[in-house]
């Protein structure tokens, strides 16, 4: 049985992927792992490969999603992306996006999360 925070993370990533699809992106891969780290979602925005870091926050008391990505985390993501690009050399252009998510506490509406999509975040 999975821990609650892992289930919540998977749910948030799935919702993020669906949100980005509605914005015109195409899913390529989820949870790419290598010795350097993990990339949550990899998508295509036209011919641009997009490495997406998903940040779910119950609240922003300790900062939003973008602020939570330290220089060390950025370095891990860059190294992981470099390995991905070496493995799949057909991609020429890439960027890093961050999607910061929080629960939608409104009772009306179907959207479970609020999304803040930061393109080319770093």
Query: 118 falls in which pLDDT band (50, 70, 90)?
Result: very high
Tell me the C-alpha distance between 98 and 40, whole Å.
Answer: 10
Domain holding 14, by residue range, is: 4-118
Number of domains in the chain: 1
Q: pLDDT value at position 61? A: 61
Strands (E), 1-122: 26-34, 37-45, 48-57, 94-103, 113-118
Query: 116 falls in which pLDDT band (50, 70, 90)?
Result: very high
Q: Would the pLDDT of 60 be above 80? A: no
User: If you average pLDDT over every residue of the chain, what do you get?
Assistant: 88
State the maximum Cα–Cα separation within the chain, in Å, rounded to a whole number: 46
Query: 69 falls in which pLDDT band (50, 70, 90)?
Result: confident
Q: pLDDT value at position 107? A: 53
Beta pairing partners, 115: 101
| pLDDT tens digits, one per residue of 92-104 | 899 999 999 988 7
pTM of the predicted model as reported, rounded to 2 decimal places: 0.87
**Apex CA 106: angle with CA 105 and CA 108, to 5°?**
145
Percent pLDDT > 90 in the chain is 63
CATH number assigned to the domain comprising residue 60: 3.40.1350.10
Sheet hosting strand 48-57, strand order edge to edge: 26-34, 37-45, 48-57, 94-103, 113-118
Q: Would the pLDDT of 109 be above 60? A: no
Q: pLDDT value at position 73? A: 92
Q: pLDDT value at position 67? A: 72
């Amino acid at each position: 049985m999975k821990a609650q925070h892992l289930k919540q993370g998977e749910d948030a990533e799935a919702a993020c992927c669906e949100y980005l699809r509605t914005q015109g992106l195409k899913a390529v891969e989820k949870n790419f792992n290598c010795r350097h780290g993990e990339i949550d979602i990899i998508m295509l925005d036209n011919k641009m490969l997009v490495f997406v870091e998903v940040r779910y926050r119950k609240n922003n008391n300790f900062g939003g999603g973008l602020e939570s990505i330290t220089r060390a985390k950025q370095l891990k993501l860059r190294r992981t992306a470099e390995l991905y690009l070496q493995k799949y050399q057909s991609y020429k252009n890439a960027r890093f996006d961050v999607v910061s998510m929080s629960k939608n506490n409104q009772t009306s509406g179907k959207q479970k999360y609020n999304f803040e999509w930061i393109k080319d975040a770093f």
